[in-house]
Chain A
Amino acid sequence: MVVLFAALLNPSTGGDNILSLLLSLVWFAFLMIFFLYPSFGQRMQLSYMLRDLERKLNKLKIIKDEINQITVETIKRVGKPEKDPAPDINRLSEFFIIQPESMDPYGLVYKLEHILETGESVYEQEVAKLAPHATEHQVKSLTNLVEVLRGINTIYRVVRHYYLLGKKTANIYMVLQIQMVLPQIIEIAESYRQAAVAFSKGQPIGDGVGPLVAAKLVNGMEKERYEIAKDTVVQEIELENRKVYVVRAIGPGGTVGRPGEGVKQLVEKLPENPKLIITIDAALKLEGEETGKIAEGVGVAIGGPGVDKYKIEELAKSRGIPLYAFVIFQSITEAITPMRESIAKAADQVLEKVKQLILEKVKSGESVVVAGIGNTIGVGLG
């Protein structure tokens, strides 16, 4: 057999002719395929892309399962439920919120607020039911954890949808679209995984830099404290004879509170308008920018669906209160994963800047509102 094969391949024994004939046949076949079936190249590319997509989808599934496991274990450990929480967690991970209809935009902000608040409290109640032994703060952090699970679940389902649709329709453009954004999606999924770990242990995250500045501002100087809106507190301090009202969400459980409603309620209750409203929040940096960079400006620095931002803007406009803002730049990953050193260091710098601004713009005897915006997980009230 080997001898025969060698003979065929050896040009001196006439194998040359057979080999070249075979090769020509192969080439001819290829030529015919491309001639009769012009999209053959695209087909091949599509199957490559689908395989790539399948691998990444699998990776997403692994991350999703891991987050699911962290959630179930944490709820079991912290909440000590009597029955297995897994089916209920699964149900909560499919929970949805329907955006209000915007065809008639009148009153849209309040509709959105109502829906979001309902969703939030339903979610919190459900988690509290699953974890009967958890404290109030722990329930909030567990709610965050289940929300992370819901997030990754949605990402996974959307990617799978495009993968299956692309496969079914053999539509390369459909696959191309999801393939283009998939590296970023994988990166976000990876940060969700780290976020789940942070929420399960109660570690402060990058987004918590706003409340961190507020906590450092108050640190030991608190004169009075009261809840002004759901999960939102005011801490009164005095800074060189200036009254400072610090608004932030209740810590150390994971919650963002209702800073918009909080500031509104507070200012409406005050005997006279504060001189300034200062908001401090984390902001998304551009790629290549330094993490922990501080920028200052005017306006309301609050991310999210816009309800809180709207309320403070409305209030400030009607009462003519100037709005100042400080933001601390970080990536989306850094915002939801345990706080980096550069962000924590930036908090100290922002604190100094806020104090300086207050001393500069607010006269002795006047008052100012400082709102630390963000998730308070791991940041106590002092």
Chain B
Amino acid sequence: MSEPSIMMGGRSRERTPEPLTFLKCLSCGVENSRPFKENDYVLKIVEDEKCPKCGGTRSKIVNIYVPEKKESK
């Protein structure tokens, strides 16, 4: 038998996953993450973002991924 309509319509749309960009400071080696911005890509050298630890401006993007839900909440 076909399922009743009430059960089919309710599921809400999945949310679009938001990736994080992981930057590694080229002066002190500390890794930081922030939300992904357009034109980010893995192995890109970012020149205009300050390292929160040492204040260095050059960093490299080492990873871009969507964190697992357990860890973000």
Give A residues with C-beta under 8 Å from B. 45, 48-49, 51-52, 55, 190, 193-194, 197, 201-204, 212, 215, 219, 251-252, 337-344, 378-382
Contacts and interface: CB of A to CB of B under 8 A. Distances in A.
B41 A51 contact: no
A7 to B, nearest CB: 36
A204 B44 CA distance: 13
A338 B41 contact: no
B65 A343 contact: yes
Nearest to A208: B42
Of the four ranges (under 10, 10 to 19, 20 to 34, 35 or more), the interface on chain B belongs to 20 to 34
Interface of B: 1-3, 5, 8-9, 13-14, 16-19, 36, 38-44, 61, 63-68, 71
A343 B68 CA distance: 10
Contacts of A344: 63-65
Contacts of A343: 65
Contacts of B36: 201, 203
B43 A382 contact: yes
Nearest to A48: B2
13 contacts: A52-B2, A55-B5, A194-B14, A202-B39, A203-B36, A251-B41, A252-B41, A252-B44, A338-B17, A339-B65, A344-B65, A379-B41, A381-B43
Contact of B68 (A193, A215, A341): A341
A234 B36 CA distance: 28
B5 A378 contact: no
B43 A204 contact: no
Nearest to A193: B16
Contacts of B41: 202, 204, 251-252, 378-380
B64 A197 contact: no
Contacts of A197: 16
A342 B69 CA distance: 11
B64 to A, nearest CB: 5
Contacts of A340: 17, 65-66, 68
**Max chain A Cβ within 10 angstroms of own Cβ: one of B8, B9, B66:** B66
A55 B9 contact: yes
Contacts of B61: 380
A339 B16 CA distance: 12
B43 A194 contact: no
A215 B5 contact: no
Contacts of B17: 194, 337-338, 340
Contact of B16 (A194, A219, A342, A381): A194
A45 B1 contact: yes
B12 to A, nearest CB: 12
B14 to A, nearest CB: 6
Given A55-B8, A194-B17, A201 B38 contact: yes
A37 B61 CA distance: 70
